[in-house]
Amino acid sequence: MATIDPDPTPAQDPSNEPFSLTDAGCFVALTDFPLDYASITDRVRSPQAGAIVIFAGTTRDNFANKPVKQLQYTAYHPLALRTMLSIARELKTKHELKGIAMIHRLGVVPVGEESILIAVSAPHRQAAWRAGEEALEACKDRVEVWKLEEFEEGEGVWRANRDGKVGERVG
Amino acid sequence: MSTKPPKDHFNILYFASAGSYTSKNVEALPAPLPLRKLFDTLEERYKGIRASVLDHSLVTINLTYVDMPEDSAEVDEAEEVVIQEGDEVAIIPPVSSG
């Protein structure tokens, strides 16, 4: 469970703001550490649920065939958490979920590792599948997290989900 | 996220491409400042930032998104949004989580 609990002395957040928010059946978090499937699953486990759907986003080794060396995520912590919680609440109501949990990793994420985990539980699988997909799309649209792709050739590019295009070059 | 701004200032946070353009994550600017003058103020300090960053970014004040007023719009003083001392403003470029 340690990987999704707030870090008591987070390196990126001198003000010590919490790295997670919870509300009835909803859990959202940001972390600088590797993500853990078991703990996110346990966040939504329920005796009333007949299905848990888990989505894992992992970091790809290329963009448009350009080799990516590593990815780095940064966030506006308090706002990103607030947006994630509002997405969680919306979907929990819409799909009558038993639980929804979303955690995004920040900082350097080595290629092939998980950058986001989403778990949803529902009485029946159809609602869980749909909610899982909608949660990920809503996060990509709205959550105040940014991805910097660093290419093997040395340059770095801020990605924008909106258009799927290369953002501004930074190096 | 950042330390408290000095007296008569507000903090502005620069994320992603905004941070790359300004080469900083945060700075304190003099307050009060009408919101409609924010982009001009930044353009004066960072030439070209409007076209490359601000025109496709959103703005928050104290974690709430605000509409950027048109420069040419008539100013109704009662409704004018003014950035106040101690506020936290942020430039939010297109996001890319996931």
Q: What is the pLDDT of residues A72-114, one digit of tens each?
A: 999 999 999 999 999 999 999 999 999 999 999 999 999 999 9
How many structural domains comprise chain A? Answer: 1
Half-sphere exposure of B74 (CA within 13 A, CB side): 1
Containing structural domain, residue A30: 26-169
A152: domain CATH number is 3.90.1170.40
Angstrom distance (rounded) from CA A157 to CA B20: 10
The reply to whether B48 falls in a domain is yes
In this prediction, residue A161 has a pLDDT band, given cuts at 50, 70 and 90, of confident
Q: What is the pLDDT along chain B (98 residues), one digit of tens a residue?
A: 568 999 999 999 999 999 999 999 999 999 999 999 999 999 999 999 999 999 999 999 999 999 988 766 677 777 899 999 999 999 999 999 99
Instruction: Name the residue type at position B50.
Output: R
Angstrom distance (rounded) from CA B97 to CA A55: 14
Q: Is the peptide bond prior to B32 cis by the omega test (within 30 degrees of 0)?
A: yes
Question: What percentage of chain A reaches a pLDDT higher than 90?
Answer: 71
Containing structural domain, residue B68: 9-92
Which residue of chain A is at minimal alpha-carbon distance from B13? A76
Per 3-state DSSP, chain B is made up of helix, strand and coil in percentages (nearest 5) of 25, 30, 50
Report A:71-100 residues touching B (Cβ under 8 A).
73-80, 82
Angstrom distance (rounded) from CA A31 to CA A169: 26
The reply to whether B98 falls in a domain is no
The reply to whether B52 falls in a domain is yes
User: Which member of B1, B2, B95 has the closest CB to residue A146?
Assistant: B95
Pairing of strands B58-61, A145-151: unpaired
The reply to whether B3 falls in a domain is no
The residue with tokens 């003083």 is B77
